[in-house]
């Protein structure tokens, strides 16, 4: 019985070997003449492509596994039987930048099909490049690319170009309000700041540790933000620690002073801030302004520039354009709507010369902030805004509590109408996120950079946002 079973098993094994050999022989290109199709011959860094707003060109980097065996690269279009292009092997390289410029009659969305044709007549598997050219504003990608402050926590896998805890006793901080002081030189205001003994605490997130300063100021001349935002220096005290700029006595009813916006105007630097009375109800004593006339080395309080605790400009953002400083503001907190003002640089300290936009009358009204109407009907938290010359759009970003995200909106005119809300960072992915402040370099590019805070690690990160505006 055992011999019989073994005999049948051996016969089945021999049959399997013969059958498999027949299959392999029949699949070879030499014996049956059928084209052999390599798997994934062409690799692309990106396969969903958006044209540049100005050049109308898409691009992606291609890599070939068997370049030496390729005769040419064939490019066709899924929606056209007319378009066909051959790229000779002499033009290719192992890392090849493929480009395609849109033609006048191309559809809004289509697919390019790339196929390598070999010297022996065989072809590769098709690579599909999906081109999206629908008109309007598009968000291409969002990513967190680096830390700005503090010490990395377990699990972080992105770059940290600074060591603020070691160099300036800044272990925990937030915000990161950025403005251009001189061309290529930037100031960065941070909020409540704690020392190198700060430790993230999941059970009780937020600030902890000693060396509490209500705010600190950093300087940067970094203009290549792809590898993070490098801090060159901070304003220091006699011990080499980052020192407090906007004073607060830190009493029960005068808790802290928090920067909300900064601008260079009329040759001086200004920071807008609020003075906090009660965090539970987010009640402020007032909002005000500090000034520096020596490139940020020394700051003085402007007692004559003050906003009441219920002012629609208790928190603000600034941007300069066409001879004006524009100011978008909210009441302090994160639940009020946004209003708009403007003033000449020389009038930044003279609130009687501020113009306030009234949407009902479509007019600017001088000296009366109560005439300012809502331009963004949403719950607007910490905000910043820019005019982007590449996109020809105003862009604002702010924290929104009900959606638990950083929201972005666009407008062709500073007075509106403003677009639908776009989510550029969600609390689901970046837990306890808040604060979004554009780097000034974002004003001339489709790549936007902004700082963003997270409450548990209680530190600031650099975010990268790639957008397009197809016209």
Q: pLDDT for 219-270, tens place per residue?
A: 999 999 999 999 999 999 999 999 999 999 999 999 999 999 999 999 999 9
Asked whether 153 and 457 are in contact (CB, 8 A), the reply is yes
Band (pLDDT 50/70/90 cuts) for residue 471 is: confident
57 compared with 33, residue with greater pLDDT = 57
Summarize the confidence of residues 305-330 as an average pLDDT: 98
Structure tokens at 220: 């940067």
List the beta bridge partners of residue 273: 259, 288
Rounded CA-CA distance 34/349 in Å is 81
Summarize the confidence of residues 377-385 as an average pLDDT: 98
Structure tokens at 69: 């065996």
pLDDT computed for residue 21 by the predictor? 41
My answer on whether omega of the bond before 417 falls inside 30° of 0, hence cis, is yes
**Which residues, in sequence order, are CB contacts of 266 under 8 Å at separation 6+?**
345, 346, 348
The sign of the CA dihedral 280, 282, 287, 290 is: positive
Band (pLDDT 50/70/90 cuts) for residue 175 is: very high
Q: Is the pLDDT of residue 20 over 70?
A: no
Asked whether 411 and 422 are in contact (CB, 8 A), the reply is no
Asked whether 354 and 342 are in contact (CB, 8 A), the reply is yes
Structure tokens at 330: 């909210």
Residue in the block written with tokens 């500073």: 414
Rounded CA-CA distance 154/150 in Å is 13
- Distance of CA 327 to CAs 104, 148, 294, 348, 383, Å? 40, 26, 24, 11, 11
Q: Write out the DSSP string of 97-111.
A: EEEEEPPTT--SEEE
Task: Name the average pLDDT for the chain.
Answer: 91
Rounded CA-CA distance 45/226 in Å is 17
**What is residue 66's three-state secondary structure?**
coil
Summarize the confidence of residues 339-343 as an average pLDDT: 98
Q: Is the pLDDT of residue 153 over 60?
A: yes
Rounded CA-CA distance 273/294 in Å is 20
Asked whether 163 and 423 are in contact (CB, 8 A), the reply is no
pLDDT computed for residue 24 by the predictor? 36
**What is residue 17's three-state secondary structure?**
helix
Q: Is the pLDDT of residue 34 over 80?
A: no
Burial 152-184 (b: 16+ CB within 10 A, else e): eeeeeeeebbbebbebbbbbbbbbbbbbbbeee
pLDDT computed for residue 370 by the predictor? 95
Among 77-86, 204-213, 436-445, the least confident range: 77-86
Q: Write out the DSSP string of 372-410.
A: PPEEE-S---SEEEEEETTTTEEEEEEEETTTTEEEEEE
Q: Is the pLDDT of residue 82 over 90?
A: no
Rounded CA-CA distance 168/148 in Å is 13
Q: Is the pLDDT of residue 19 over 80?
A: no
Note the maximum CA span of the chain: 109
Rounded CA-CA distance 97/72 in Å is 15
Summarize the confidence of residues 360-384 as an average pLDDT: 97
Structure tokens at 279: 């965090």
Rounded CA-CA distance 38/127 in Å is 12
- Of all helices (H) and strands (E), which one includes residue 30? helix 29-32
Q: What percent of the chain has pLDDT over 70?
A: 92
pLDDT computed for residue 80 by the predictor? 72
Structure tokens at 309: 């605790």
Structural domains in the chain, sorted by start: 42-134 (2.60.40.1930), 138-470 (2.115.10.20)
Among 9-18, 240-249, 353-362, 426-435, the least confident range: 9-18
Rounded CA-CA distance 360/339 in Å is 13
Of all residues in the chain, what percent are helix, strand and coil, respectively (each to 5)? 10, 45, 40
């Amino acid at each position: 019985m055992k011999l019989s079973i073994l005999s049948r098993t051996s016969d089945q094994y021999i049959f399997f070997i013969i059958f498999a050999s027949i299959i392999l022989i029949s699949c070879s290109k030499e014996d049956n003449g059928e084209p052999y199709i390599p798997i994934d011959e062409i690799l692309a860094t990106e396969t969903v492509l958006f044209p540049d707003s100005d050049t109308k060109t898409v691009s992606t980097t291609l890599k070939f596994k068997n370049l030496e065996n390729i005769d040419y690269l064939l490019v066709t279009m899924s929606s056209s039987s007319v378009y066909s292009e051959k790229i000779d092997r002499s033009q290719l390289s192992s890392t090849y930048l493929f480009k395609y410029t849109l033609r006048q009659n191309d559809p809004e969305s289509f697919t390019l099909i790339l196929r390598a044709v070999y010297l022996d007549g065989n072809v590769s598997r098709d690579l599909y490049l999906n081109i999206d050219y629908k008109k309007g504003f598009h968000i291409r990608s969002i990513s967190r690319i680096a830390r700005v402050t503090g010490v990395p926590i377990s699990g972080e896998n992105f770059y940290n170009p600074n060591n603020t805890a070691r160099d300036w006793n800044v272990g925990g901080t937030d915000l990161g309000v950025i403005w251009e002081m001189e061309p290529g030189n930037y100031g960065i205001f941070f909020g409540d700041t704690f020392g190198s003994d700060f430790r993230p605490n999941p059970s009780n997130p937020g600030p902890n540790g000693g060396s509490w300063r209500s705010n600190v100021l950093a300087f940067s001349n970094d203009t290549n933000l792809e590898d993070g935002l490098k801090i060159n220096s901070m304003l220091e005290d006699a011990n080499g620690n980052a020192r407090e700029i906007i004073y607060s006595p830190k009493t029960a009813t005068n808790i802290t002073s928090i920067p909300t916006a900064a601008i260079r105007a009329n040759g001086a630097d200004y920071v807008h801030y609020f003075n906090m009375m009660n965090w539970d109800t987010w009640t402020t004593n007032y909002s005000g302004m500090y000034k520096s006339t020596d490139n940020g080395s020394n700051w003085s309080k402007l007692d004559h520039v003050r906003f009441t605790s219920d002012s629609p400009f208790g928190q603000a953002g600034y941007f300069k354009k066409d001879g004006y400083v524009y100011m978008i503001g909210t009441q302090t907190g994160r639940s009020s709507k946004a209003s708009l003002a403007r003033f000449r640089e020389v009038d930044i300290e003279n609130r009687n010369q501020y113009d306030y936009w009234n949407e009902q009358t479509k007019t600017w009204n001088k000296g009366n902030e109560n005439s300012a109407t809502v331009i963004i009907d949403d719950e607007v938290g910490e905000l910043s805004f820019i005019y982007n010359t590449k996109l020809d759009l105003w862009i604002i970003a702010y924290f929104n509590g009900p959606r638990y995200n950083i929201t972005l909106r666009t407008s062709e005119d500073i007075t509106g109408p403003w677009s639908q809300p776009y989510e550029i960072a969600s609390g689901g992915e970046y837990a306890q996120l808040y604060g979004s402040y554009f780097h000034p370099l974002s004003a001339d590019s489709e790549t936007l950079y902004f700082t963003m805070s997270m409450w548990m690690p209680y530190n600031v990160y650099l975010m990268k946002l790639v957008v397009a505006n197809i016209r």
